[in-house]
């Protein structure tokens, strides 16, 4: 990713920002989809992420860190959507208005089950690594964890999923 494009976007160049978005959109959506489990929530998270990034790009301090900065924003958006969904589901269960919604994800049931056995933080580490393609150092920075911790947790989570799937 060219720091020249990021510099232009920071200066208010809408075309430069659009170019940055086009470079990242598939990775953003894949991460959000696997984290949230459905297309609509993933689209909402990416849309909110891009709007926040567009408004905040003038404050970006390190142009080389644009991609990880963008994923930090997306990570927060996904967490907010998960929290809202959790509150909504709890309210619905409490009110007993309707039956629990059927999952509309398109993941293989085995993969969904394998991801479900992980803690939320381990699931995030796996998704950021496998789906979004980030290195453990980048994930550690995004999640405010030690690099060695992320590397160990990724290895253990993948091994746990493998054992589950066998």
**For the chain, domain boundaries:** 1-105, 107-166
| Helix 109-116 and helix 147-165, axial crossing angle in degrees, nearest 10 | 130
Query: Quick one: pLDDT at residue 107?
Result: 57
**Residues 6+ positions from 147 with CB-CB distance below 8 Å:** 136, 137, 140
CATH 1.10.1740.10 matches 1-105? yes
In the structure, what pLDDT confidence band is assigned to residue 150 with cuts at 50, 70 and 90?
Answer: very high
Q: Coil, helix or strand for 83?
A: helix
At the second CATH level, the architecture of 107-166 is Orthogonal Bundle (1.10)
Neighbours of 61 (CB within 10 A): 7
For range 118-134, the mean pLDDT? 88
Query: Quick one: pLDDT at residue 95?
Result: 56
Which tens digit of pLDDT belongs to each residue from 30-87?
999 999 999 999 999 999 999 999 999 999 988 888 999 999 999 999 999 999 988 8
Q: What is the DSSP letter of 129?
A: I
Q: What is the pTM of this model?
A: 0.62
Q: Are 39 and 141 in contact (CB under 8 A)?
A: no
For range 100-110, the mean pLDDT? 55
What is the chain's mean pLDDT, rounded? 86
């Amino acid at each position: 990713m060219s720091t020249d494009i990021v510099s232009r976007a920071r200066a208010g160049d809408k075309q430069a920002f659009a170019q940055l978005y086009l470079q990242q959109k598939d990775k953003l959506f894949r991460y959000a989809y696997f984290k949230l489990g459905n297309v609509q929530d993933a689209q909402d998270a990416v849309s909110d992420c891009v709007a926040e990034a567009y408004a905040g790009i003038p404050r970006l301090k390190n142009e080389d860190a644009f991609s990880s900065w963008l994923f930090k924003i997306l990570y927060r958006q996904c967490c907010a959507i998960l929290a809202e969904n959790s509150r909504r589901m709890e309210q619905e269960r409490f009110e007993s208005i309707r039956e629990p919604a059927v999952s509309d994800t398109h993941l293989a049931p085995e993969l969904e089950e394998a991801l479900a056995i992980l803690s939320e933080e381990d699931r995030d580490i796996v998704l950021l690594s496998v789906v979004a393609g980030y290195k453990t150092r980048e994930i550690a920075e995004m999640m405010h964890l030690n690099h060695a911790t992320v590397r160990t947790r990724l290895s253990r989570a993948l091994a746990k999923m493998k054992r589950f799937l066998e």
